Structures are given as structure tokens and as C-alpha cells.
Amino acid sequence: MTRTIAFLTAAEGVERVELTEPWGAVVDAGYAATLLSPASGPVQLFDHLDQAATQDADAVVADASVEDYVALVLPGGVANPDALRLDDDAVSFVKQFVASGKPVAAICHAPWTLIEAGAVSGKRVTSWPSLKTDLVNAGADWVDEAVVVDGSLITSRKPADLPAFTRALLDSLAEAT
């Protein structure tokens, strides 16, 4: 069985710590991490609204297969998930991943992509507070908690929740592998 975690982002607008902290945690736990994006090349990371580092995408999401990964992480940032939910290949990959029953972890604004993938109806979730209405309108039960695990879906609100988010992700990986 694979021990590779897929991280899916758009080419820009990714909240740096929401990518790098879970990435570091899964690598430290002995997993491999792969950055998927709709296009090859650099992904621009941000510290809130300020440009930070870049990280090169390892693969294009259109070429990715769910079978090659044990889990999917969707980092936030406002622009990142907004762009992803407009990309048919990204949305299709998320739909397939959710259908696989493998862990899917989304933080901050990333549940916008889950909404587009039809993955939140009937699920208990959390997110950045401004997404509450969108999630409720999509059929989710939104709660204001640091981390929510509903089956294979893991959601968190913001960077301050990263310790709880990462712990829940690692716990789900331990169960899945």
C-alpha cells in the first residue's frame, strides 16, 4: 500500500503554514508528500495577504490517480480553494478521493473545494467562519470547533488549529495504513 499523501493546491493564494506544517508532520511520520496543482511549475504561498515562498508542484492533478495516495490534504488561503473549485480536474480528483473513503483533510477556506465536489451534504464540518453559510447551504452541519472528524473527512478552522488538524490527520493515517 502507498504511503504517499497528496496535497492539492492552486498555483497561488495558498496559506503557507496550512501547506508546510501538515506536510512536515506527515514526512516526519514516515510518509511521502506530493504537491499536486492544476498546472506544473511554482505554487505561490502566502502569509495571509503577503507573498511568501514558492514550492514547485510535483505533478499535475489531471494526471494524478487516487490509487497512488493514502490521503488528500487541502490547504486553505482564500484564493487557493476559490481557484481550485473552478478547475474541473481538481474537483473531479476531490470527488474521487472522497468516494474512495480515504482520509480527506481540509483547513480554513479549503471546504469551498469540498462544496464544489459535492462532499459536504450530511457531514459535520468546520471552516473559517465566513464559509458557514456556504457549507450550511450545501447541506453540511457546520460547527465552530478546532477540528471535526466525520468519517474520513477532517476539517479545521484556521492556522491556529493546525496542531489539532495535524493530529487528526496523523490519527486517520494510522488507521488507514
CA–CA separation, 177 and 174 (whole Å) = 6
Residue range(s) defining the domain that contains residue 149? 4-176
Query: pLDDT averaged over the chain?
Result: 97
| pLDDT for residue 1 | 64
Query: Is 78 in a helix, a strand, or coil?
Result: coil
CA–CA separation, 73 and 71 (whole Å) = 7
Residues carrying an active site annotation: 109
| pLDDT for residue 120 | 98
pLDDT digits (tens, 9 = 90+) for 137-177: 999 999 999 999 999 999 999 999 999 999 999 999 998 87
CA–CA separation, 171 and 103 (whole Å) = 10
| pLDDT for residue 113 | 97
Structurally, the chain folds into a number of domains equal to: 1
Check whether 48 has a pLDDT greater than 80: yes
CA–CA separation, 53 and 130 (whole Å) = 26
Alpha-carbon dihedral of residues 23, 169, 46, 14, nearest 10 degrees?
100
pLDDT digits (tens, 9 = 90+) for 71-111: 999 999 999 999 999 999 999 999 999 999 999 999 999 99
Position 96: which residue type? Q
Check whether 16 has a pLDDT greater than 90: yes
> Residue 137 belongs to a domain with what CATH number?
3.40.50.880
Q: In this structure, are residues 70 and 7 in contact, taking their beta carbons and an 8 Å threshold?
A: no
| pLDDT for residue 2 | 77
